[in-house]
Amino acid sequence: MMLRLPVLISLCFVILAIYLGWSVIAGLVVIVITFYVNTRISRASARLYKRYMGAQDQRVKALSEAFTNIKMIKLYSWKAVFQNLISEKRANEMNILARRFIYSNSMITCLYFFPSLLSAVLFSVYIGFGNTLDLEVAFTVMVVLNLIKEPLRSLPQFVG
């Protein structure tokens, strides 16, 4: 499985180079941009995950302290103080979690957007070089692009 993805992508790009010529370089640029964007989003998401775990740990510690000392909290009427403290920690945790959710959605969007963009870029550059797109080339390239879509979605996870 590990070796299959790069080999399949390489073979597909060789086939695309045979049919589309130098236009395949535009496809390689799209792939490089894809990896750059996904790497940046993944790193930012990993940093947020560490912050989220720290915030969650602080909230759990505050809750544990409140449960351990519940008799003293009730006796001295510190319920509102502890409730506000735990609510603040929970709000901070939810804020970080919402940002992580946005990053995760962005990464999933990129994983589906860029392989679809690849076909548009390849055909546009091929036609832009003055070539005519006949059915033989179009259908062959579409089959190869459909073969390459899933490995392109899986490759960032493989590299990570």
Measured between alpha carbons, how far is residue 114 from residues 10, 48, 123, 129, 144 in Å?
17, 24, 14, 22, 15
Q: Is 65 helix (H, G, I), strand (E, B) or coil?
A: helix
Cβ neighbours of 156 (radius 10 Å) = 19
pLDDT on residue 15: 93
Enumerate domains of the chain plus CATH numbers.
4-159 (1.20.1560.10)
Asked whether residue 5 carries a pLDDT value surpassing 90, the answer given is no
Mean pLDDT of 19-32: 91
pLDDT on residue 116: 86
Between CA 35 and CA 155 the distance in angstroms is 9
pLDDT (tens digit per residue) in 80-116: 888 898 999 999 999 999 999 998 898 888 888 888 8
pLDDT on residue 40: 86
Between CA 12 and CA 7 the distance in angstroms is 9
Closest CA to 66 of 51, 87, 45: 87
Rounded to two decimals, the pTM is 0.74
pLDDT (tens digit per residue) in 45-93: 889 999 999 999 999 998 898 888 888 887 788 888 888 989 999 999 9
Burial class from Cβ neighbours inside 10 Å (0-12, 13-18, 19+) for residue 63 reads middle
